[in-house]
Structures are given as structure tokens and as C-alpha cells.
């Protein structure tokens, strides 16, 4: 990684319970990384595994357990897997979870997946295409404000299902993307009810981190101001 330790320092003050995860889509495994020991039920499970301190790479075969994730990641599906995807989408449409017209617009990687590498940000042995942050609403507020200050949170919508579509959306747009996740993601990653994600393009990470301490300090001062003002202007309860 080319991110200096000094730029990473403000992250420690956020108190993130999950380490930020560096992700890269590459053609060959990065030196020093081993293939993941077992395939996860869904691709988003690799985010959790890396946030817990593991560094590894995956191949297309490691992403076929979740048909939707395989689709968003650009994994070539077999006939049986394609039928599984169609059946799952059909069920979602029947449940009125999605509309059939939405499916073509789901963000996905246009290049076939060859190797996906994952590692905690502070010890990733590769240049990330994006970094996935996970945390509570206040923590993501601060990170999103830093991303906005860096000019990289300017147009992407806050995304929902499927959570894995956040990755291609971030890479394809070269902008930060917030996601509230989806029910599958919350099951496979144990994402808490008060948690969400922010994904930041790797090439623009340094710019965001360069604004983070200023944002944290400004919020601390503004919180004092607003609490004092609220106390002064609040009347007695009737």
C-alpha cells in the first residue's frame, strides 16, 4: 500500500469495530497471498473475513455459492447456475422485493472475474480498487463527510439490495458509495441493525483520509455548539 501511516491515524479515533477492507480485482494472485481456505456462502462474506484480520484471494469458483453476487462480480455462470439466478430473481419478483425491470440496471463488473484479493487496509500487499468501510451511522457520517470534502461523494445514490453491487458501482463510477446492505448481506456478515457501509475508490482513498481529521475535529466542536444551543433554547417540559 502507498497510503502513509500518518493518513491512517484518524481512522483509529473513529473506533471502527471492523477493520476497513481493501479489495482488488486482478488477473493473478498478489504475491504473498494464499487462496481462501473455504468458499463463503456469499461474496460479501469475504468482506467480513478480511475485516477480522485475514488476507487472501479468491477465484471465480469461490463466488458461485451466491448467484446474485456472482452476477455483480462478473463471474461466468454455468447453465445450472444461470437457472438458479433466474429462479432466485423470479422469487424476489413474486415477493415484490424487486421489479423485473430493475434487474438490468443492477451494477455489475463488465470484465470477467479472474482473481479478487482481500485484506485489512493497513496491511494489504496490493493496491486496492476500493476500500470497504463498515460501521455505525455516526462513523459512516464522518467518513462520508470526509469523502464529500474530497469531492468523491457527489452523485452516487445510497444503495440497498444487493449489497454486493456497491463494489462495481464504486469502481465503475470512481466515486464513493454508501450502502445500507441487504437482508442476505446482514445474514452472511452479521451486519448489525445500526451498521452500514461506505465504499471508497482505492485511487481516491488518500484524498478522503486527508480530510478525515479535519472533519472529526469540526464535528466535535459543532456538537458542543449545538448541544449548548439546544440546552439554551429548550423550554421546560409541560
Check residues 205 and 237 and name the one with the higher pLDDT: 205
What pTM did the predictor assign?
0.90
Mean pLDDT of 5-18: 88
| pLDDT at 1 (0 to 100) | 55
CA-closest candidate to residue 25, choices 109, 141, 148, 140:
109
pLDDT tens figures, 62-96: 998 888 888 899 998 777 777 777 787 778 788 77
Q: What is the pLDDT of residue 87?
A: 80
Contact 51, 131 (CB under 8 A): no
Report the C-alpha gap between 152 and 228 in whole angstroms: 32
First-to-last C-alpha distance (Å) of the chain: 58
pLDDT digits (tens, 9 = 90+) for 130-189: 999 999 999 999 999 999 999 999 877 788 889 999 999 999 999 999 999 999 999 999
Contact assessment for residue 131 and residue 11, using Cβ atoms and an 8 Å cutoff:
no
Q: Is the pLDDT of residue 111 over 50?
A: yes
Give the tens place of pLDDT for each residue, 13-69: 999 999 999 999 999 999 999 999 999 999 999 999 999 999 999 999 999 888 888
Identify the pLDDT of residue 236: 54
Largest CA distance in the chain: 68
CB neighbourhood size of 149 (10 A): 17
Asked whether 121 and 127 are in contact (CB, 8 A), the reply is no
pLDDT at 237 over 50: no
The mean per-residue pLDDT over the stretch 224-237 comes to 80
Task: State the pLDDT at residue 235.
Answer: 59
Choose between 9 and 27: higher pLDDT.
27
pLDDT at 2: 62
- Domain residue spans in the chain? 5-231
Q: How much of the chain, in percent, has pLDDT values that exceed 90?
A: 66
Output the pLDDT for position 163.
94
pLDDT score at 206: 94
- Give the HSE-up count for residue 133: Cα atoms under 13 Å, Cβ half-sphere: 29
Mean pLDDT of the chain: 90
Q: Cα–chain-centroid distance for residue 130?
A: 8
Amino acid at each position: 500500500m502507498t497510503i502513509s501511516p500518518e493518513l491512517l491515524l484518524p481512522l483509529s479515533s473513529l473506533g471502527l469495530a471492523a477493520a476497513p477492507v481493501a479489495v482488488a480485482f486482478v488477473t493473478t494472485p498478489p504475491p504473498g497471498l494464499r487462496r481462501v481456505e473455504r468458499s463463503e456462502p456469499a461474496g460479501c462474506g469475504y468482506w467480513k473475513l478480511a475485516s477480522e484480520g485475514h488476507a487472501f484471494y479468491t477465484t471465480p469458483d469461490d463466488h458461485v455459492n451466491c448467484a446474485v453476487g456472482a452476477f455483480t462480480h462478473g463471474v461466468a455462470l454455468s447453465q445450472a447456475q444461470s437457472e438458479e439466478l433466474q429462479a432466485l430473481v423470479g422469487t424476489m419478483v413474486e415477493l415484490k422485493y424487486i421489479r423485473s425491470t430493475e434487474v438490468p440496471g443492477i451494477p455489475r463488473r463488465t470484465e470477467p472475474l479472474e482473481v479478487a484479493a482481500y485484506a485489512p487496509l493497513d496491511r494489504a500487499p496490493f493496491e486496492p480498487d476500493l476500500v470497504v468501510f463498515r460501521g455505525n451511522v455516526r462513523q459512516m457520517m464522518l467518513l462520508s463527510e470526509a469523502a464529500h470534502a474530497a469531492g468523491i461523494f457527489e452523485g452516487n445514490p445510497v444503495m440497498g439490495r444487493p449489497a454486493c453491487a456497491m463494489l462495481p458501482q464504486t469502481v465503475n463510477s470512481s466515486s464513493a458509495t454508501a450502502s445500507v446492505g441487504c437482508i442476505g448481506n446482514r445474514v452472511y456478515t452479521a451486519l448489525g441493525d445500526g451498521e452500514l457501509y461506505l465504499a471508497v475508490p482505492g485511487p481516491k482513498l488518500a484524498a478522503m483520509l486527508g480530510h478525515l481529521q479535519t472533519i472529526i475535529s469540526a464535528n466535535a466542536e459543532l456538537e458542543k455548539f449545538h448541544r449548548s444551543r439546544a440546552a439554551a433554547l429548550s423550554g421546560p417540559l409541560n
